[in-house]
């Protein structure tokens, strides 16, 4: 047997014959449905899979996708981006963050703009890369601007754990970690909500377990299928959702059983619990304040908390998005990118006006990249 290659982990899950097979299965089952089903894929990763592989075009007309608020860059409000910008502009600070965050515009500009104005802003693929930056720049304060849902939170906790154990004095944290279920509940509380079922992000459940979605089938009567991100994963998950509707069931099911169980990663959860606690609220871009949806450092770690140490510089008043940008409605599943008047014209990846166009997981970026606009 040869050495295992990365492609071996996904090749079979992109098999055209398997995808077509699921398309035929869904088409036959969907004939039994009395009404259209709106399925929200919560995570932007699913949105990109759907767009990249043309999955919507393979489905019957009574199966429709709604795009959700599960992109950590897309939901970051302008005032939090302004925090990053202000911190980056301090003379003795190196600001470190993940990927696309550097391009999202706040009211003062993006982190990319801050860098053009002389700020030392760096992006890393792993939070632990911050350690090397701090050790090489001991005369600077290195602030890690932490973002992401349940998936990335343990990596930030692991970084803080190493910082404490190694006695590193020049790394601080600005925490912007948020959680998925509270955002889903907010969407369902809207009287205009048309969501019938959810595809749950599998990478979130690798950490938190499938258990975090159990209230949705039981309390809200909305089926949830925890889905992987390959096209076969998504198609199988759609088939599972349709089967539930045909059989008049509302249940929590896991399609991505190769990595997700009910309890999740208990070691990662314990690390999160050690360093973080629920914040009273977190403001999602376009969705507003969502109670208990954010995390913050526990008070005993305030010496590492940039929000506490730079409190006088950082404002929390909401900052409105551009009047023409409808990212908020897109994140709520109420609109699609082509319905935005500036999509693909004034707002493009090279000149983004909204966060959904900036992020590699954003719905607007997916439609622009795979919607024949390039």
CA 180 to chain centre: 8
- Asked if residue 357 has pLDDT above 70, the reply is yes
Beta bridge partners of 147: 176
Q: What is the pLDDT of residue 372?
A: 62
Looking at the chain, which runs of residues are DSSP E strands? 37-41, 63-67, 93-98, 120-124, 141-148, 171-177, 197-201, 224-227, 252-254, 276-278, 281-284, 288-291, 295-297
Instruction: Sort residue 65 into left (φ over 0), alpha (ψ -120 to 50) or beta.
Output: beta
Question: Has this prediction a pTM greater than 0.85?
Answer: yes
Residue 148 pLDDT greater than 70, yes or no: yes
Contact assessment for residue 177 and residue 227, using Cβ atoms and an 8 Å cutoff: no
pLDDT over 60 at 310, yes or no = yes
Span 110-120, mean pLDDT? 96
Which residues 6+ apart lie within 8 Å of 232 measured at CB? 12, 13, 14, 15, 18, 19, 22
pLDDT single digits (tens) 77-112: 999 999 999 999 999 999 999 978 898 889 999 999
**More confident site: 194 or 100:** 194
For 355, the 3-state DSSP assignment is helix
Residue 1 in this model has a pLDDT that exceeds 60: no
pLDDT tens-digit map of 317-338: 999 888 899 999 999 999 999 9
Residue 180: pLDDT over 60: yes
Angle 152-155-157 (CA atoms, 0-180°, nearest 5)? Answer: 115
**Per-residue pLDDT at 4:** 67
Beta-strand (E) ranges in 126-215? 141-148, 171-177, 197-201
Q: For residue 127, what pLDDT is reported?
A: 95
pLDDT digits (tens, 9 = 90+) for 5-21: 777 777 789 999 999 99
Compute how many other C-beta atoms are within 10 angstroms of the C-beta atom of residue 128: 13
Q: What is the pLDDT of residue 374?
A: 41
User: DSSP code of 320?
Assistant: P
Collapsing DSSP to helix, strand or coil, 165 comes out as helix
The DSSP bridge partners found for residue 144 are 96, 173
Token pair listed for 213: 């979605």
Residue 347 neighbours by CB under 8 Å, 6+ apart: 325, 340, 353, 354, 357, 364
227-236 per-position pLDDT tens digit: 999 999 999 9
Percent over 90 (pLDDT), the chain: 89
Would you state the pLDDT for residue 320? 87
Do 131 and 158 contact (CB within 8 A), yes or no?
A: no
Distance of CA 209 to the CA centre of its chain: 16
Name, in order, each residue with C-beta under 8 angstroms of 74's C-beta and a sequence gap of 6 or more.
Answer: 44, 285, 327, 331, 355, 356, 358, 359, 361, 362, 363
| Structure token pair of residue 269 | 């959860």
pLDDT of residue 351: 87
Q: What's the CA gap between 186 and 189, in Å, rounded? A: 5
Domains and CATH numbers, the chain: 36-71+182-254 (3.40.50.11750), 78-180+268-313 (3.40.50.11740), 326-371 (no CATH)
Q: What is the mean pLDDT of residues 215-225?
A: 97
Q: What CA–CA distance (Å, rounded) separates 154 from 156?
A: 5
Q: What is the mean pLDDT of the chain?
A: 94
């Amino acid at each position: 047997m040869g050495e295992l290659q990365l492609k071996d982990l996904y090749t079979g899950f992109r098999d055209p014959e398997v995808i077509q097979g699921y398309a035929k299965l869904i088409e036959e089952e969907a004939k039994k449905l009395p009404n259209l089903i709106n399925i929200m894929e919560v995570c932007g990763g699913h949105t990109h899979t759907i767009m990249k592989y043309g999955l919507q075009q393979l489905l019957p007309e009574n199966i429709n996708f709604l795009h959700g608020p599960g992109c950590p860059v897309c939901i970051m409000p302008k005032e939090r981006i302004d925090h990053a910008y202000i911190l980056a502009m301090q003379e003795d600070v190196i600001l470190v963050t993940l990927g696309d965050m550097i391009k999202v515009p706040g009211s003062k500009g993006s982190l990319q703009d801050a860098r053009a104005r002389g700020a030392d802003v760096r992006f890393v693929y792993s939070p632990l890369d911050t350690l090397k930056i701090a050790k090489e720049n001991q005369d600077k304060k290195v602030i890690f601007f932490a973002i992401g849902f349940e998936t990335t939170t343990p990596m930030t906790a692991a970084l803080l754990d190493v910082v404490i154990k190694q006695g590193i004095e020049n790394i601080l944290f600005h925490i912007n970690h948020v959680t998925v279920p509270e955002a889903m509940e907010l969407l369902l509380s809207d009287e205009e909500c048309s969501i019938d079922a959810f595809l749950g992000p599998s990478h979130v459940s690798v950490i938190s377990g499938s258990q975090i979605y159990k209230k949705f089938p039981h309390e809200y009567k909305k089926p949830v299928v925890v889905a992987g991100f390959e096209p076969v994963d998504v198609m199988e998950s759609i088939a599972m959702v349709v089967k539930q509707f045909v059989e008049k069931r509302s249940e929590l099911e896991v399609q991505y059983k190769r990595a997700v169980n009910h309890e999740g990663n208990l070691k990662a959860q314990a690390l999160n619990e050690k360093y973080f606690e629920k914040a009273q609220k977190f403001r999602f871009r376009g969705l507003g304040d969502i109670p208990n949806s954010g995390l913050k450092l526990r008070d005993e770690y305030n010496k590492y908390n940039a929000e506490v140490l730079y409190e006088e510089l950082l404002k929390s008043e909401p900052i409105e998005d551009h009047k023409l940008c409808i990212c908020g409605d897109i994140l709520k599943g109420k609109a699609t990118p082509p319905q935005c008047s500036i999509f693909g014209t004034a707002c493009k990846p090279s000149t983004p006006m909204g966060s959904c166009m900036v992020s590699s997981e954003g719905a607007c970026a997916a439609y622009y990249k795979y919607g024949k606009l390039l």
